[in-house]
Amino acid sequence: MFRKVDTMSRMADRSSGRRPRRQFSEEFKDGAVRLVLDQGKTVGAVARELDLTASALALWVRQAQAERTKGTSGLMREEREELARLRKENRELRMERDILKKASALFAKYPQ
């Protein structure tokens, strides 16, 4: 038979109350996306069936649609990767600029 589980004790086990971050293989993602795009199931139904969050599955579906339409409905994988790389580079350049600003202000304050 079913055993009653105390939800409060389960919540106490998890420090933040959130599910631990899971990683999925590309094959799993592709299969989940095919259920939505090719078989016509809803994102919510597939997410419940596979124990996923609907938002994660919806993101995978949007990305797959962009790949299938060669970028006319969103960013393709290469574009997303390039965007992430450029954002990281931009962050690093801003940090370097800020460090140089502080260093030049320090040198201006104490002339030699």
pLDDT digits (tens, 9 = 90+) for 12-52: 455 667 878 889 999 999 999 999 999 989 999 999 999 99
Instruction: Pick one of 1.20.1070, 1.10.10, 3.40.50, 3.40.1350 as the CATH number of 22-74.
Output: 1.10.10
pLDDT for res 50: 94
- The reported pTM is 0.53
- For the chain, what are the domain ranges? 22-74, 76-112
In three-state secondary structure terms, 110 is coil
Q: Identify the DSSP state of 59.
A: H
pLDDT for res 15: 61
**What CA–CA distances, in Å, run from 4 to 9, 10, 14, 15, 71?**
12, 12, 19, 22, 49
